[in-house]
Structure 1
Amino acid sequence: MKKRIKIEGMTCGHCSARVEKQLKKLEGVEEVVVDLEAKNAMITLSAAVDNETIAEAVDDAGYDVTDISDV
């Protein structure tokens, strides 16, 4: 399963690295690809992870989630 996360507040490579690090900490997340220009992240899941948990991880990195959708 894949999810697209739209993220506000990322402005540089350090920002995207912080988001990637936080998302990779979540159990069930296999792969994270952050696109700074598009202001989103694509995650590949090996197990179900609810959207609230994903949003909290991004918030812990210091950024805001505006949308999470299944891909």
Structure 2
Amino acid sequence: MSAFSTTYKVSGVNSGHCKAIVSEALRGLDGVDTVSVEISTGLVTVNTSAEPDDALISTTIDDAGYDFHGRA
């Protein structure tokens, strides 16, 4: 069960393919239960079992090829 729900602003997620890449990358992180990506707004909601590591999430999104802008 997720204890934390955190929303981030990410740019460059403009298609279903991009959404899948970001979702898969974040779901691979320890403690991440679910990921929701909204293409129209660039908002990515990450549900985790513990306080999320924003630096790790930023690096993961950047490594996937997208631009992390912090918490929304």
Structure 1 length normalisation: TM-score? 0.89
Report SS of the residue matched to 1:48: coil
Determine which of 15, 19, 22 is the counterpart of 1:16: 19
Cα distance in 1 between the residues matched to 2:16 and 2:28: 19
- Equivalent residue number for residue 35 of structure 2: 32
Once the two structures are TM-superposed, the CA of residue 48 in structure 1 deviates from its matched residue by 2.8
Cα distance in 1 between the residues matched to 2:44 and 2:13: 11
- Equivalent residue number for residue 42 of structure 1: 45
- Equivalent residue number for residue 65 of structure 2: 62
Q: Give unmatched runs, 5+ long, in structure 2.
A: none
Cα distance in 2 between the residues matched to 1:52 and 1:40: 17
Once the two structures are TM-superposed, the CA of residue 62 in structure 1 deviates from its matched residue by 0.4
Q: 4+ residue runs of structure 1 moved beyond 4 angstroms?
A: none
Matched, 1:7 2:38: no
Deviations 1:11-54 (A, max 9, x none): 11100110000000000100101101111111110123310000
Report SS of the residue matched to 2:55: helix
Identity of aligned residues (%): 33
Question: How many residue pairs align between the two structures?
Answer: 69
Cα distance in 2 between the residues matched to 1:51 and 1:65: 10
